[in-house]
Amino acid sequence: MDDDLFLTDRLDDYRSICVSTLAKTTVEEAEAIHLGGDKGYFIYEVDDRPASGGIHVLAKVASVEAAFRLFELWRGRRRDPHPA
């Protein structure tokens, strides 16, 4: 999966938010096949903790441009939310 990783950002010590393609088996195991199959880019959380670890698919991105825009917005949230 790491070879297909497109965008990633750490949420905390255990979790990351990612946008990438996913293998068909990963999409099926994450019970996300209802999002229109395994083609395209997925927004998902990766949890490294053994007890609750794994991939949790949150959504499917409409386009590669949407993936970039999503991460621009996501990373922008860490800046001052109330600029002077």
How confident is the model at residue 14, as a pLDDT? Answer: 93
How confident is the model at residue 16, as a pLDDT? Answer: 92
pTM: 0.78
Q: pLDDT tens digits, the chain, 84 residues: what are they? A: 444 558 888 989 999 999 999 999 989 988 898 998 888 899 999 999 888 778 999 999 988 888 888 888 888 876 655 655
The b/e string for 26-63 (b: 16+ C-beta within 10 A; e otherwise) is bbeebebeeeeebebbbbbebbeeeeeeebebeebbee
